[in-house]
């Protein structure tokens, strides 16, 4: 990895979300204050998401993936990042990923089923990123804790369970900032 290259951070919002929502602007400001390049792509049709459109948009925004590229996703943004990594060709490898309220399988929500039509190809994902952190809440009304166990098993993810954080829809998320900074140190 070329340390002279600037580190890039991509914050991927979830279903019905936007770059202006939740803790995303705060995280952008915290990273930018450290001189880091931050991108908050506005995913297409956020209220009626289509996996192919989201993956294509992320691929377009990222351009060339390298070891100075880091991702943090929230909810549907996490499966989007996994699907993106799954389809990358060649030997490109990201620096790391933080998955907040992430999932990789059925949630019983018809509107996002197209993201889950096939199982995640864990081997393909790991071939393009080897450092993962999963941040989950013990009272998330949408995403069961079992997905942290799956991320730990399939991705060797560091799993952090945050008590009482719901679906992480607050204005600041210090644990995410801390984990990104550790990954990119």
DSSP β-bridge partners for residue 161 = 136
Query: Which phi and psi (to 5°) does residue 110 adopt?
Result: -60, -35
Please give the CATH topology (third level) of the domain spanning 8-183.
Answer: Rossmann fold (3.40.50)
In DSSP terms, 70 is beta-bridged to 9, 96
- Return the pLDDT at 20: 98
Question: What is the per-residue pLDDT across 12-66, written as a single tens digit (0 to 9) for each?
Answer: 999 999 999 999 999 999 999 999 999 999 999 999 999 999 999 999 999 999 9
Q: Which residues contact 166 (CB under 8 A, 6 or more apart)?
A: 137, 139, 140, 141
**Chain segment 84-101, per-residue pLDDT in tens:** 999 998 899 999 999 999
pLDDT for residue 1 is more than 50? no
Q: What average pLDDT does range 144-148 have in this prediction?
A: 96
Task: Note the pLDDT of residue 101.
Answer: 98
Predicted TM-score (pTM) of this structure? 0.96
Tokens of 1: 């990895």
Specify whether the CB–CB gap between 155 and 125 falls below 8 A.
yes
Q: Is the dihedral of CA 152, 13, 136, 132 positive or negative?
A: positive
Domain definitions of the chain by residue range: 8-183
């Amino acid at each position: 990895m070329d340390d002279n290259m600037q580190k890039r951070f991509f914050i991927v919002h979830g279903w019905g979300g936007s770059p202006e929502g939740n803790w995303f602007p705060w995280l952008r400001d915290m990273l930018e204050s450290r001189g880091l390049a931050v991108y908050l792509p506005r995913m297409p049709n956020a209220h009626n998401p289509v996996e192919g459109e989201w993956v294509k948009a992320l691929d377009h925004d990222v351009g060339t993936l390298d070891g100075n590229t880091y991702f943090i996703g929230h909810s549907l943004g996490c499966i989007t990042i996994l699907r993106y990594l799954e389809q990358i060709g060649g030997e490109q490898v990201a620096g790391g990923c933080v998955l907040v309220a992430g999932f990789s399988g059925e949630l019983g929500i018809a509107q996002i089923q197209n993201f889950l039509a096939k199982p995640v190809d864990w081997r393909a994902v790991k071939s393009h990123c080897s450092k993962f952190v999963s941040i989950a809440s013990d009272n998330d009304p949408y995403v069961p804790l079992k997905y942290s166990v799956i991320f730990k098993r399939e991705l060797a993810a560091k799993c952090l369970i945050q008590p009482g954080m719901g679906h992480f829809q607050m204005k600041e998320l210090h644990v995410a900032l801390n984990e990104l900074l550790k990954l990119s140190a």
